[in-house]
Amino acid sequence: MTSRWILNFFRVASLLMLLVAVALMSAIVTMHFATHGAEVQVPALKGMTVAGARSETEGLGLNLDVDNRYYSGDVAAGHILTQSPAAGTVVRREWRVRVSESLGPQKVDVPGTVGMEERAATLELRRAGLDVGAAAHLPDADATANMVLAQDPPAHAQDIEQPSVSLLVAVPDTEPPDGYVMPDLTGLPIVAAQLDLSKVGIRTAPPNYADLPAQPAANAIAPPARPGSVIAQWPAAGARVDQTTEVKLTVAK
């Protein structure tokens, strides 16, 4: 009697274990299909019209964002120039796909605004179908307040990328500037470079010291850097910097 009870117990236990295993397998398969059912491949959108790309992505449950517009002599206006993520990338539904749209070849002539008052310059650029980009301000005792000192791209520029123009505007000499152009510090002693930046309130990170690679004399184009002088910098010369920027300098050992 006892052996039969034990045998029945093991049969019931085995059956329960089998049912648990089947339930677990079913749950794993369900999760697998649920997960993969929520994933899609990003389609190739380059060259499509924006309307066509939007229809394509919406059909896959993706969101399309046109976040930039550029001139292009190769891609017709209203068609996609670039996309991110790239075609073939597997993403989850509702993912945001960012694209840039072609404006076709540049047809607008960039007006000259240097010497104009900032508001008048803004109106002139908008009349030409251009956007006003970032406006930087610089104290200038010799210029009228709010007068445009420089623009980028310059007047009548050809082959510009975007339909926007940035302005450098004069402010009274008593106002602090909101930015500076990063100078080229390479070759300067580290102490002199730090002093030049500190004079206008620009901070520097602790210098990174590096060995200079040996250069054969026959191939030398310029004198070797002296120990203690700047051999690399970030941001690069010409970049816009302000009091929030921390400049990083690499110095020769």
Q: What DSSP state is assigned to residue 84?
A: E
Contacts 24+ apart (CB under 8 A), 189-196: 189/226, 189/228, 189/229, 189/230, 190/228, 190/229, 190/230, 190/249, 190/251, 191/228, 193/230, 193/249, 194/249
Q: Which two tokens stand for residue 213?
A: 């690679």
**Fold (topology level) of 180-252:** Trypsin Inhibitor V; Chain A (3.30.10)
Equal fold, 41-102 vs 180-252: yes
**Fold (topology level) of 41-102:** Trypsin Inhibitor V; Chain A (3.30.10)
In CATH, which of 3.60.40, 1.10.1060, 1.10.3470, 3.30.10 is domain 118-171? 3.30.10
| H or E element in which residue 52 lies | helix 50-59
Give Cβ neighbours of residue 64 (< 8 Å, ≥ 6 apart): 50, 53, 54, 57, 58, 96, 97, 99
Q: pTM for the whole thing?
A: 0.51
Parse the chain into domains and list their residue ranges.
1-37, 41-102, 118-171, 180-252
Per-residue pLDDT tens listing for the chain (253 residues): 556 666 665 566 666 677 766 667 665 655 554 445 588 999 999 999 999 999 999 999 999 999 889 999 889 999 999 999 899 999 998 899 999 999 999 989 999 999 999 999 999 999 999 988 877 787 777 788 889 988 888 899 888 888 988 888 888 776 666 677 777 888 889 998 898 888 778 899 999 988 865 554 444 444 566 888 999 999 887 677 888 889 999 998 8
Could you tell me the CA-to-CA distances from 77 to 72, 73, 98, 221 in Å, in that order?
8, 9, 17, 47
Name residue 249's beta-bridge partners.
Answer: 233
Contacts 24+ apart (CB under 8 A), 28-36: none
Contact 63, 54 (CB under 8 A): no
